[in-house]
């Protein structure tokens, strides 16, 4: 790969039929964080898991923020383009189809930005505790891409109005959005795992 490459883990598929997953960790995570989640929600799927290239007090992230919930939007755009280039190269290197992004927190936010800026690179997304990544997003055509958005009712970081606005933004862009608000905070729960696994299974059935 070129210098756009990210430190990453790749696990090849062990069964046919499951779309590959692009696993995008939250603040302070790394390329190992979501592998277990990926194996649980899509057993046998290929897993591509990069590490964010931005450091915040030593913690990896996928883009800079100015404060809690306040993003450096120029950096969001630049880092989304970098991640998009990496995904395109990884698809060629590993011979995988367009992946479904599975992102948590900061990883969900960069996945949302990637959907808006480079929608052709993803087959869909599971966004866990995501926020609107850009205050003035481009007019994207998501062409019926499936998106599962899972929010926490007691999330102290993501306001309910923000996640609802994100769901509306994707719907207006043509995506098939499923938005569920769970009795949870910002951290993931067993309900997230179950809903994501069922959603992936339904997506596979529709594709078949």
Q: Which residue has the tokens 């769970």?
A: 182
Catalytic pick from 8, 72, 186, 189?
186
Catalytic pick from 49, 105, 151, 163?
105
Task: Please state whether beta strands 47-50 and 176-182 pair in parallel, antiparallel, or not at all (unpaired).
Answer: unpaired
Reference 154, options 133, 182, 176, 177; nearest CA is 182
Helix or strand run (H / E) with residue 147: strand 146-152
Q: Residues 6, 188: contact at Cβ < 8 Å?
A: no
User: Is residue 155 annotated as a catalytic residue, yes or no?
Assistant: yes
Q: Tokens representing 8? A: 């990453």
Coil, strand, or helix at residue 109? Answer: helix
Catalytic pick from 33, 85, 155, 192?
155
d(C-alpha 129, C-alpha 89), whole Å:
28
Reference 25, options 132, 101, 99, 77; nearest CA is 101
d(C-alpha 87, C-alpha 41), whole Å:
21
Query: What residues are labeled active site?
Result: 105, 155, 186
């Amino acid at each position: 790969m070129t210098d756009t490459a990210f430190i990453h883990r790749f696990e090849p598929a062990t069964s046919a039929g499951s779309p590959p997953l692009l696993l995008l960790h939250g603040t302070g995570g790394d390329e190992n964080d979501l592998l277990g989640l990926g194996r649980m929600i899509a057993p046998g799927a290929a897993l591509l898991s990069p590490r964010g290239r931005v450091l915040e007090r030593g913690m990896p992230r996928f883009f800079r923020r100015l404060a809690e919930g306040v993003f450096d939007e120029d950096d969001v755009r630049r880092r989304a383009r970098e991640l998009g280039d990496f995904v395109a190269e990884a698809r060629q290197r590993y011979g995988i189809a367009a992946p479904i992004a599975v992102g948590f927190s900061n990883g969900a936010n960069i996945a949302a930005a990637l959907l808006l800026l480079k929608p052709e690179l993803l087959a869909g997304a599971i966004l866990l505790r995501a926020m609107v990544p850009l205050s003035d997003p481009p007019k994207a055509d998501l062409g019926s891409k499936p998106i599962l958005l899972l929010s926490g009712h007691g999330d102290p970081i993501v306001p309910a109005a923000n996640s609802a606005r994100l769901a509306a933004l994707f719907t207006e862009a043509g995506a098939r959005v499923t938005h569920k608000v769970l009795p949870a905070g910002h951290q993931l729960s067993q309900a997230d795992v179950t809903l994501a696994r069922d959603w992936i299974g339904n997506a596979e059935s529709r594709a078949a």
